[in-house]
Structure 1
Amino acid sequence: MAIIKPFKAIRPAKDKVAFVASRSYEEYSKKELKAELSYNPFSFLHIINPGFKFDKHVSGQERFTLVHNRYMEFLEENVLMKDVADSFYLYKIEKDDFSCYGLFCATSVSDYKNNTIKKHEDTIHRRELIFSNYLETVKFNAEPVLMTYTDNDTISQILNAETHKIPEYHFTTKDKITHSLWCISEKDIVTRLQEQFNAIDTLYIADGHHRSASSVLFAETSQKKNRKHTGKEPYNFFMSYLIPESQIQIFEFNRMVKDLNGLTKEELLIKLDACFRIENKGDILYKPTKKHHFSMYLDGEFYSLYLRRQVWHFTNALSKLDTQILYKTILEPILGIKDLRNDRRIHYGYGKHNVIKMKDEIDEGNFAIGFSLVPITVSEIKAIADAGLVMPPKSTYIEPKLRSGLAIYEL
């Protein structure tokens, strides 16, 4: 049973929401970031990049304190305001080839700990500690954890009915994405949604593993400090965006490696022949079309690599995953990439047109070889999570990517 809770969000003033909402900080180039901070005083980026005000790079505890200060300024200037009623927030995203809607809500730390909320990626404890300390200073969640659940007809009917009402926000951003948000505060609708989610056995983290793990760590630390702990305090929950699994999109991460680990092209192909049936596709752009089938770009030519089933045995959900197969048959034993997260010889790319970008990078000499895969499916994510396994790093690039600053959960 999944516990979800409405909350009083801190939200942008209606006339400023289009200026406040920002993409994730990491998605901006340096030039974009500087332009946005220079010419948009309402951008949420001013809160999470507070050193700009002082023309100074800040980090660590100094940055955390300044983030809190900028946040308080936005509240004092009524750029951000607090809702008076506990609500769920229905958020819809629409662009040319994609549309989805989901629910901002508070999800339970206890559900994470009892495995009602399941993960498919490992987290790094050092990063958990850093973000937990960040939460302790700033006292808010601004970027929700993206979670998915099995499609539920009743939930869909309730949310569809809400979309026929006048939204609280409706605006289009410069990237031609339209954003709509509805506040759901009617007690009977809130209760119906809670009842429906209470009947759902599992929520699956799609994106935000470190945010959720850090929120749990922060909750445990806060509980130890609070002698009057009841379990109802805000720190016992963290903000999530719940979306039915049919409405998420998953793209692949391609892999590019700096060198051939001392091998010649011919030596590499001979080693690959042990595990793959290899076909030279020439210089025509080539992408794989099915599971256990890879595209390789090397020395100006594309190759298809078909896994030889007799040399690879499926033993569990992880062994069936293409990112794991590529790692265990090529990246680790042949190219010498043992640490997929930290080895500087390997880089990752994502997006619909990334095969072209990968080819360009290799042609320019920045990398020696590249591999393209088909996207991982929701079913594979769930199978990995249900088995208590974890995927190799950079196995999935998941949309939607949510705007920061639309709804903030105070801790």
Structure 2
Amino acid sequence: MATIKPFPCIRPDAKVVHRVAALPYDVYDRMEAKAEFLKEPLSFIKIDRPEIQFDDSVDTYDEKVYDKAKETLEAMLEEGIFINDQEAGYYIYELIMDGRSQTGIAACSSIDDYLDNIIKKHENTREEKEMDRIHHVDRTNAHTGPIFLAYRRNQIISNVVAEVKKEQPLYSFKAVDGVCHNVWKINKKEQMDTVYDTFAKMDSIYIADGHHRAASAVKVGLKRRSENKDYIGEEEFNFFLSVLFPDDQLMIMSYNRAVTDLNGLTVNEFTDKVKVDFEMEFLGKKSFLPDEKANFGMYLGGNWYKLTAKESLRRIEDSVKSLDVSLLQDYILRPILNIQDPRTDKRIDFIGGIRGLSELEKRVNENMAVAFSMYPTSIQELFTVADEGKLMPPKSTWFEPKLRSGIFIHKLSDE
């Protein structure tokens, strides 16, 4: 049973929502985040990445940085940039990118469902990345970036969503990247009850994106429980901000790889080793984006190659080992290029498919040795791995479009 509840939302005034809404904090490095802030002073990035309000000499994780996030959020509330919508409700959040629409429900999910594996994971998290968001959530007393969750499509929920979308939206704007964002509120009791009861019958919900934010939100919730021994489980800190999407509307893009060197091998030595497990076809200057599983593009020495996994690799049945990201890791990156742990190895970089193949060429032409274009992991592969209690290799999925931060904020308490 999944507990997906309506919540009292802090959200932007409709007149400025297009200026406030920002891409997730981890899409930018510090310099990029600061550039966004300089272009748009109301951007929510100044709360999600408060270090950009300081000189670069100030450490990203300095205590005063988190204090600044709290101070900025409170100031924007006082100025009326954000409004406090105290009547709990669900929100419908539609994103339209290149003519393709996906519509989710913004709500609060239970930290107990996360702990009990009703909300299922498919990635490991890193403690140092968790700590930053733990400090941020705890200090601001708010969840400022929603966790991207997925569920198997349900017609009852689809019907409610379709009904509400006939109404006038609270927000409707196009972001500078061309993605359209539309928001409606579900506040009719019958519709809210239907949504709540339907999710309550689901055995599994899945983290699509935001594993570190989810883990951090849960740890802050547990911390608040330890500080409030008489908690009853209904307090807001027992829940975290999320947007839940049906699986049939989601698009996963490839998450490509680039490596700085060939591990001391010459180009010929490297390609000879690759040919042990992959058929290799020379494509010259013609870039290659795989259109089926077990195929890879490789950009090396100014030329593109098509790699096709040999039959022995294509027969692998294990849900994790058969993933394309696993085939690349297990048969090229680890044994040939000595990338033992892609989570920590500084020699590998991960490049979201949204950046295109030209970005791979650019990286290799500038300072990398080889790059690989990937076939995307499917949402069904993600579900299968999570249902089996297994974990995918890091950076297995890249979801587009990205949910904006700053449209929905969930306070953990009234303090």
2:392 is matched with 391
In the superposition, relative to structure 1, how do residues 322 and 221 fare at CA in structure 2: closer, same or farther (>3 Å)? same
Q: Which runs of 5+ in 1 are unaligned?
A: none
Distance 1:79 1:232 in 2: 29
Distance 1:356 1:41 in 2: 31
Deviation at 1:17, TM superposition (A): 1.5
Contact 2:92 2:184 (8 Å CA) reproduced = yes
Deviation at 1:315, TM superposition (A): 4.8
Deviation at 1:4, TM superposition (A): 0.6
Paired residue for 2:261, among 237, 253, 259? 259
Q: What is the DSSP-based 3-state SS (H/G/I as helix, E as strand, rest coil) of the residue aligned with 1:42?
A: coil
Distance 1:63 1:55 in 2: 11
1:19 is matched with 19
In the superposition, relative to structure 1, how do residues 64 and 352 fare at CA in structure 2: closer, same or farther (>3 Å)? closer
Deviation at 1:352, TM superposition (A): 4.6
The TM-score normalised by the length of structure 2 is 0.93
The TM-score normalised by the length of structure 1 is 0.94
> Which range is displaced more, 385-394 or 139-148?
385-394
Q: What is the DSSP-based 3-state SS (H/G/I as helix, E as strand, rest coil) of the residue aligned with 1:201?
A: coil
1:408 is matched with 409
Deviation at 1:92, TM superposition (A): 1.1
In the superposition, relative to structure 1, how do residues 260 and 36 fare at CA in structure 2: closer, same or farther (>3 Å)? closer
Q: Deviations over 1:292-337 (max 9, x none)?
A: 1222122222222221223676252101101111111010001111
In the superposition, relative to structure 1, how do residues 160 and 354 fare at CA in structure 2: closer, same or farther (>3 Å)? same
2:104 is matched with 102
Deviation at 1:219, TM superposition (A): 1.5
Paired residue for 1:208, among 196, 199, 210? 210
In the superposition, relative to structure 1, how do residues 145 and 175 fare at CA in structure 2: closer, same or farther (>3 Å)? same
Contact 1:254 1:354 (8 Å CA) reproduced = no
> Which range is displaced more, 137-146 or 75-84?
75-84
Contact 1:8 1:409 (8 Å CA) reproduced = yes
Deviation at 1:54, TM superposition (A): 5.6
Contact 2:4 2:110 (8 Å CA) reproduced = yes
Q: What is the DSSP-based 3-state SS (H/G/I as helix, E as strand, rest coil) of the residue aligned with 2:7?
A: coil
Please list, as runs of the form range in 1=range in 2, the aligned pairs for 1:304-343 lying within 5 A after superposition: 304-310=306-312, 314-343=316-345
2:296 is matched with 294
In the superposition, relative to structure 1, how do residues 82 and 119 fare at CA in structure 2: closer, same or farther (>3 Å)? same
Q: What is the DSSP-based 3-state SS (H/G/I as helix, E as strand, rest coil) of the residue aligned with 2:218?
A: helix
1:382 is matched with 383
1:160 is matched with 162
Q: What is the DSSP-based 3-state SS (H/G/I as helix, E as strand, rest coil) of the residue aligned with 1:319?
A: coil
Asked whether 1:346 is paired with 2:348, we answer: yes
Q: Deviations over 1:178-227 (max 9, x none)?
A: 21111111111100111111112111100010111111111111111112
Distance 2:168 2:396 in 1: 38
Distance 2:387 2:28 in 1: 34
Paired residue for 1:171, among 145, 168, 173? 173
Q: Deviations over 1:53-101 (max 9, x none)?
A: 5656353321111111111111111111111311001111123232111
> Which range is displaced more, 266-275 or 378-387?
266-275
Q: What is the DSSP-based 3-state SS (H/G/I as helix, E as strand, rest coil) of the residue aligned with 2:381?
A: helix
Paired residue for 1:196, among 190, 198, 204? 198
> Which range is displaced more, 66-75 or 56-65?
56-65
Contact 2:255 2:396 (8 Å CA) reproduced = yes
Deviation at 1:27, TM superposition (A): 3.6
Letter in 2 for 1:227: K
Contact 2:298 2:304 (8 Å CA) reproduced = yes
Contact 1:128 1:214 (8 Å CA) reproduced = yes
Deviation at 1:24, TM superposition (A): 2.2
Distance 2:186 2:342 in 1: 43
Distance 2:18 2:32 in 1: 17
Contact 2:314 2:322 (8 Å CA) reproduced = no
Paired residue for 1:274, among 269, 273, 276? 276
Paired residue for 2:141, among 139, 142, 160? 139
2:37 is matched with 37
Contact 1:2 1:200 (8 Å CA) reproduced = yes
Identical amino acids, percent of aligned pairs:
35
Deviation at 1:8, TM superposition (A): 0.7
1:77 is matched with 79
Deviation at 1:157, TM superposition (A): 0.9
Q: Which runs of 5+ in 2 are unaligned?
A: none
CA RMSD of aligned residues (A): 1.9
Contact 1:248 1:400 (8 Å CA) reproduced = no
In the superposition, relative to structure 1, how do residues 123 and 368 fare at CA in structure 2: closer, same or farther (>3 Å)? same
Distance 1:354 1:39 in 2: 25
Deviation at 1:32, TM superposition (A): 6.0
Distance 2:381 2:42 in 1: 41
> Which range is displaced more, 281-290 or 115-124?
281-290
Q: What is the DSSP-based 3-state SS (H/G/I as helix, E as strand, rest coil) of the residue aligned with 2:393?
A: coil
Q: What is the DSSP-based 3-state SS (H/G/I as helix, E as strand, rest coil) of the residue aligned with 2:185?
A: strand
Distance 2:352 2:343 in 1: 16
Distance 2:394 2:104 in 1: 26
Contact 2:12 2:81 (8 Å CA) reproduced = yes
Distance 1:348 1:239 in 2: 27
> Which range is displaced more, 257-266 or 230-239?
257-266
Q: Deviations over 1:111-169 (max 9, x none)?
A: 11111100100011233233223222110001110000111111111101111101111
